[in-house]
Structure 1
Amino acid sequence: MSDRNKLLAPFARRESNRAIPDRVREVVDRFEIHSERLIGWVQLAIGLFITALYLVSPRPVDGEMQHPVPISLAVYLCFTALRLFLSYRIRLPAWFLGLSVLVDIALLYGLVWYFHVQYGQGASFSLKAPTVMYVFVFIAIRAFRFDPAWVLATGAAAALGWVGLTLYAIDAEGTDAITRSFVAYIHGDGILVGAEIDKIVAILVLTTVLALALVRAKRLLAAATLEQIEREEIRRFLPADVERAIVTSPESVVAGDAEEREAAIVILDIRGFTGFMARHDARQVVEVLVGLHARIVPVIERHGGIVDKYLGDGLLATFGATRPSRTAAAEALAALCEILALSREWAREMETRFGPIGLRVNGAATAGTVVFTALGDEHRLEYTVIGDPVNLAAKLEKHNKVEQTLGLTTRASLDMAQAQGFRAPAAASLTRLDCRQVQGVDAPLDLVAFA
């Protein structure tokens, strides 16, 4: 993928025929609920700020500060406090949100309208009130929600409200008050229609820009939420170290990316499982497998390994392959010892439940140089390990049948593990099996068996 495509990828539209899962909608809805609470706090802060300005600012000598201003502010603060309280109790219905928009604009334009009464001037005097600038704040705070409808509703209410104030001023003072002189507009009581149209256009432009941005942002929020959920689901199918290798890679992973490392391999298999499958239904078979994995996987992870892949009734685990480790061999043998011990207990439980079915876990561990690599094509990749230790572990696991053992490793792997600090548990008896011929291996091997 080119740098340009990488840059634009987060903004790409998802397929139109791909439905957004309900759980994604639930996440977006929860975000909207939190956003509504944030809007409530901002509205309350604005109301308190305007009230504070009213209380601390000196009274203009030419003004008549009458009762409607404090009464209006008190009503607004009470309504905003109620709105904030309800936002923590219930999901605010659409009609209430619409009412909130009207209350915001009504309060603001009520204060603007009262400007000319307060100062004993003509109605056109209100059109010059600086308080109108707060309308942009009321429109902008609706952008906290990723729903452009409420930005559009607030902007439309603000624009229509200003049209109403302008028409009121023209009606109150007559058409003779209309002027085309900007100087007369600034210094006198004239009404410059173009100036009022500019304000309305500014309101509508801001509203449109914010709405378009929110349409894009809402799409990105839904896409990002869906991708996050998908990633969390996919993470369940990927070992944490593999996911980390993919995410932290400085460049996009491609087939053939490889890294050579000193690692250890453990391969496990269940003896007698084919016969068990033939005699029991699929539900019981899966239940047995899941129950065994629930015991084995935590042991592997506790010793620093990961499950590379599940092999039907077996699995392949790696130590030090996805993330370098100086004690990979010791970790692998320690994990194998513990797994073989708990698998004997598991086998006894299976016999108690299903009778003498002869299930047992066999395993093998090897250590050496492996290649941690991405295999596949441009459409699907899989991280895995390849190399002689992997092949040898698979052959040793099968060789358990020949030796009638539960677990095997090579003498070289054991020596490496002991050099790294491995000490066999007291309950684990290690038996040397020198010069053994393993099928598929040319030269005889010195093996070590786990009793």
Structure 2
Amino acid sequence: MADATDVTTAAELRAPNDGPVRTREEFEDRQYILTALEEHKRRGVELAVWTRWIMLPIVAVFLIAVHPVWSQLYYVAMLGLLCLNGWLMRRVARVERSRAELSLILFDLLLMTFGMVVPNPFDPQPIPVPMLYHYGNFVYFFMILSAGTLAYSWRTVIAIGVWTAVIWLGASYGVARFAPADADMSAALAAIVGPDSHMWELMDPFHVNFQLRIQEAMVFLLVAGTLALSAKRFNELLLTAAGSERERANLSRYFSPNVVEQLSQNDEPLKQVRGAKVAVMFVDIMGFTPLTQDQDPHEVIDLLRGFHGRMEAEVFRHNGTLDKYLGDGLMATFGTPQPGEQDATHALACALSMQAALEGWNRDRRRKGLPTLRVGIGLHYGDVVLGDIGANRLEYAVVGAAVNVASRLEKLTRTLEGDIVLSDGLRGQLLQEGADNDLLQGFGCHEGQIIRGLSEPMTVWAR
């Protein structure tokens, strides 16, 4: 069904004259909100149409029940046309401004007015046309208005109110001005109740009672205005929710789902700079340059996407945080933004899962005749500093000696000819966490390793 609030918002998002999109993030935010509006419109239209398809058959059954004559099928057929019109609205509904939708709304109102003020041609006992106003059928317009708030914008809800008032008063004036009167019938009734009494105003079969029609239109406009304010507020909440979901989507690029949930429930938890002990992981493809020097650039990008996607999935699966991509590698942390009780355990379990995922991918690559990959992983547990860095564009950063050590340990995989090298500090933390001994199987001790940047040699474990 036609939607003006969403329509205007979507138009503003796409409008070329509302200022340039200066950043990729701004463009993505607009696209994200536009997608949210389209989804809201789709659901609103579905709900509004189903509401119509439920309400109108109920009205049809009610009409037949209270006045079971064949001529009632005329009004049942009109209700059927309104149901069909709802189906058409469902077909043409879209977020952009749609003349087709607005036309179908106008058809709704005209059809209902026609059914209320034009006599039933199949009625065997026709009555004066103004008498049709005595049935109080105007209340049925509120069904269209209430269903409209499910899918329309606040501007369109107001339009429904204004159009209904204009059409209803226009039809009332036309009936009062042009409907034929029966002087003998009026004289007979006036003789009974008195031509100057209030009863005569209510019972006169040829009196439209224009004051009452104005009252109906006024009340309808007031209700439409109130519902329009509700619709406007709802759409503001929708945009706010879309922005929140966008922020959650951005967070999900860096943090595991449980961390995103934690961050979304706290107010700005990342801005406080603090120290913490975390597990740091560096991952890198060994021999990447000679492996790809003769490949097409597009093939290299596809290779990196496949690699990063698999490694990222394992980081998130083990409650880690993806800190950054580093060309053919990545850096991840465990224990950020909030420390856990099993951070070192999760880090080593993630490294082992990464190697297992790589083995599966290599099997597929061998079947396709592609070269296999080997990955080096360095792990360290130690002190770091956490917090946002930057001025206008912020980045959540993890810095400190532990980061440098983990990076050096990843490079040490070439020297020690292992796939995973972990520091004695991380191994000690694993033991404190009560890690399963299976995690440490196959790791050999290498004492006295010189790590650039450290004044003392350190003991490492490699596999």
Q: TM-score, normalised by structure 1?
A: 0.72
Which residue of the partner structure matches residue 397 of structure 1? Answer: 410
Query: Do structure 1's residue 103 and structure 2's residue 85 form an aligned pair?
Result: no
Whether the 8 Å CA contact 2:157–2:224 is kept in 1: the answer is no
Q: Distance in 2 between matches of 1:229 and 1:311?
A: 27
Counterpart in 1 of 2:190? Answer: none
- 1:139 alignment counterpart: 145
- Please provide the CA RMSD for this pair: 4.6
Cα distance in 2, alignment partners of residues 432 and 376 from structure 1: 40
TM-superposition CA deviations, 1:107-153 (whole Å, max 9, x none): 344589999x88x7x76665454443333333333222215547635
Structure 2 residue aligned with 1:30: 42
Equivalent residue in structure 2 for 1:202, among 202, 211, 219: 219
Contact 2:382 2:425 in 1 (8 A): no
Q: TM-score, normalised by structure 2?
A: 0.71
- Among all aligned residue pairs of Structure 1 and Structure 2, give the percentage whose two residues are the same amino acid: 20
SS in 2 for 1:263: strand
SS at match of 1:279: coil
Alpha-carbon separation, structure 1, partners of 2:112 and 2:158? 13
Counterpart in the other structure of 2:3? none
Shift of 1:441: 0.8
Aligned partner letter, 2:220: I
Distance 1:361 1:188, change over 3 A: closer
1:68-147 matched pairs, under 5 angstroms: 68=71, 70-80=72-82, 82=84, 86=87, 94=101, 98-109=106-117, 127-147=133-153
Query: What CA distance in whole angstroms lies between the structure 1 residues aligned with 2:361 and 2:203?
Result: 95
Q: Pick from 150, 161, 172 the counterpart of residue 165 of structure 1.
A: 172
Instruction: Decide whether the 8 Å contact of 2:161 with 2:220 is kept in 1.
Output: no
| Amino acid paired to 2:167 | L
Q: Do residues 313 (structure 1) and 328 (structure 2) align?
A: yes
Residue of structure 2 equivalent to 1:243: 260
Q: 2:236 & 2:136 partners in 1: Cα distance?
A: 36
- Helix, strand or coil for the counterpart of 1:267? strand
Q: Tell me, in whole angstroms, the C-alpha distance in 1 between the residues paired with 2:62 and 2:45.
A: 24
Give 1:291's match in structure 2, choosing from 290, 296, 306: 306
Change (3 A) 1:233 1:302: closer
Partner-residue secondary structure (3-state), 2:434: coil
CA distance in 2, matches of 1:434, 1:182: 112
Q: What's the offset of the Cα at 1:411?
A: 1.9
- CA shift at 1:413, angstroms? 1.7
Supply the distance in 2 between the matched residues of 1:156 and 1:355 (Cα, whole angstroms). Answer: 68
| 8 Å contact from structure 2 (residues 409, 421) kept in 1 | yes
Residue matched to 2:317: 302
Amino acid at match of 2:76: A
Partners of 1:200 and 1:352 lie apart in 2 by: 75
- Are the counterparts in 2 of residues 319 and 331 from structure 1 also a CA contact under 8 Å? yes
Q: Which residues of structure 1 form unaligned runs of 5+?
A: 1-11, 56-65
Alpha-carbon distance in 2 for matches of 1:200, 1:114: 29
Q: Distance in 1 between matches of 2:197 and 2:241?
A: 51
2:453 corresponding residue in structure 1: 440
Q: 1:76 to 1:154 in 2, by over 3 A?
A: farther
Distance 1:297 1:153, change over 3 A: closer
* CA displacement, residues 268-313 of structure 1 (integer Å, 9 cap, x when unaligned): 1122223334332321222222232343333333333232221111
**Partner-residue secondary structure (3-state), 1:299:** helix
The equivalent residue for 2:22 is none
Q: 1:103 corresponds to which letter in structure 2?
A: L
* Long gaps (5+) in structure 2: 1-7, 16-29, 94-99, 188-195
Give the superposition deviation at 1:394. Answer: 1.6
**Is this contact kept in 1: 2:49–2:90, CA < 8 A?**
no
Q: State whether residues 117 and 132 of structure 2, in contact with CA within 8 Å, keep that contact through their aligned partners in structure 1.
A: no
CA distance, structure 2, for counterparts of residue 188 and residue 341 of structure 1: 88
CA–CA distance in structure 1, aligned partners of residues 53 and 157 of structure 2:
14
Residues 88 and 427 (structure 1), Cα distance of their counterparts in 2 relative to 1, 3 Å cut: farther
